[in-house]
């Protein structure tokens, strides 16, 4: 079963507007972490934001915020004031389990391709 689901293969947004990229996850583990990564066409994976399962507040990093709804098992990424440079693939990922050295791999969703229009 897919652990991370990103239902939007592609999204379009006008420059300077906000956009929400959806992510739902599936886990029975009470301790987990959720991540968003950006992958531009050049290929590198850029970390954007992190939300821990026990965090009480939604994570924010500059123009990025994470709308964490634990009961719904969703962790949507909100990008405010979109810029042309935000055009990229965006991957939601999850780390399951308690802290164990070396068993903290991330499982990725299929990604959402965001295009920012001028």
Partner 1 sequence: AAGVIQSPRHLIKEKRETATLKCYPIPRHDTVYWYQQGPGQDPQFLISFYEKMQSDKGSIPDRFSAQQFSDYHSELNMSSLELGDSALYFCASSLSVGRGRTGELFFGEGSRLTVL
**Of residues 12-51, those binding partner 1 (CB under 8 A):** 33, 35, 37, 43-47, 50
Q: How far is the CB of 98 from partner 1 (least distance, A)?
A: 8
Look at residue 84 and give its three-state secondary structure: helix
Contact at 8 Å (CB) between 79 and 27?
A: no
102 binds partner 1 (CB under 8 A): yes
Q: Which two tokens stand for residue 76?
A: 């949507």
Alpha-carbon span 6 to 117, nearest angstrom:
21
Which one, 93 or 116, has the nearer CB to partner 1? Answer: 93
Binding part of the chain for partner 1, among 12-20, 61-69, 71-79, 94-102 by CB under 8 A, reads 94-102
Residue 38 sits at φ, ψ, to 5 deg, of -110, 135
10 binds partner 1 (CB under 8 A): no
111 binds partner 1 (CB under 8 A): yes
Q: Which two tokens stand for residue 118?
A: 């001028």
Beta bridge partners of 20: 78
Which one, 5 or 20, has the nearer CB to partner 1? Answer: 5
Which one, 44 or 71, has the nearer CB to partner 1? Answer: 44
64 binds partner 1 (CB under 8 A): no
Contact at 8 Å (CB) between 67 and 58?
A: yes
């Amino acid at each position: 079963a897919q652990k991370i689901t990103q239902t939007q293969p592609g999204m379009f947004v006008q420059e300077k507007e906000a956009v929400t990229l959806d992510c739902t996850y599936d886990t029975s583990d009470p301790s987990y972490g959720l991540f968003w990564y950006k992958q531009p066409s050049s290929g590198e994976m850029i970390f954007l934001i992190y939300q821990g399962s026990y965090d009480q507040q939604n994570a924010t990093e500059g123009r990025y915020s994470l709308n964490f709804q634990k009961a719904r098992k969703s962790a949507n990424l909100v990008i405010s004031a979109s810029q042309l440079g935000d055009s990229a693939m965006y991957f939601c990922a999850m780390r399951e389990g308690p802290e164990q050295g070396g068993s903290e791999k991330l499982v990725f969703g299929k990604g959402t391709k965001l295009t920012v229009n001028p």
